[in-house]
Amino acid sequence: MRLGTGYDSHRFAEGRKLIIGGVEIPYEKGLLGHSDADVLCHAITDAIIGALGLGDIGTHFPDTDPKWKDAASIELLKSIVELAKMNGYAIAWVDSTIITETPKLSPYIEKMKVAISRTGIPAGRINIKAKTNEGMGFIGRGEGIAVHAVCLLETERSTMG
């Protein structure tokens, strides 16, 4: 078994769609980033890459590469789930915490699980929590969103028995 942690944060920006966990959330602002800035997918992707010991998300999808401009982060996550499988691992568990004052995300968490499960992580192995920052810091001021994620990998053979 291997454990990896991931973190991501993005600031809000006008004129962008808000995509979290592969789901478009109705909101007056989106998140600023080279890709679609899906903070949840980015943090989970980073956690898996960390568990694999293969660097970080920027190593695999550099924001200096025009190839990743406006990329769907759910597709980046899918490619990293496939990379884990190619290295003999399955996702045993993902736990994540989205930190934002607004918008309220609880109505979208199940949709996020379904969207993320399409990357190859079984929905029953995904946990997503949404919290506020109690008005503190850049999140509390409504300037952006942050996500923490943890991923546990197990060898493929241990999932078959």
Question: If the chain, 161 residues long, is cut into consecutive pieces of 10 residues, what is the mean pLDDT of each piece?
Answer: 97 97 97 95 98 94 85 95 96 98 96 98 97 96 97 79 46
What pLDDT, on the 0 to 100 scale, is given for residue 156?
Answer: 78
Beta strands in 14-143 (DSSP E): 18-20, 23-25, 30-31, 89-99, 126-131
Rounded-to-5 percentages of helix, strand, coil across the chain: 35, 30, 35
What pLDDT, on the 0 to 100 scale, is given for residue 145?
Answer: 98
What pLDDT, on the 0 to 100 scale, is given for residue 69?
Answer: 86
What pLDDT, on the 0 to 100 scale, is given for residue 157?
Answer: 67
Stated pTM of the model: 0.94
The b-or-e profile of 14-36 (16+ CB within 10 A means b, else e) is eebebbbbbbebebebbbebebb
Q: How many domains does the chain have?
A: 1
**Amino acid found at 154:** E
* CATH for 102: 3.30.1330.50
Identify which of 93, 87, 86 has the alpha carbon closest to the alpha carbon of residue 113. 93
110: domain range?
2-160
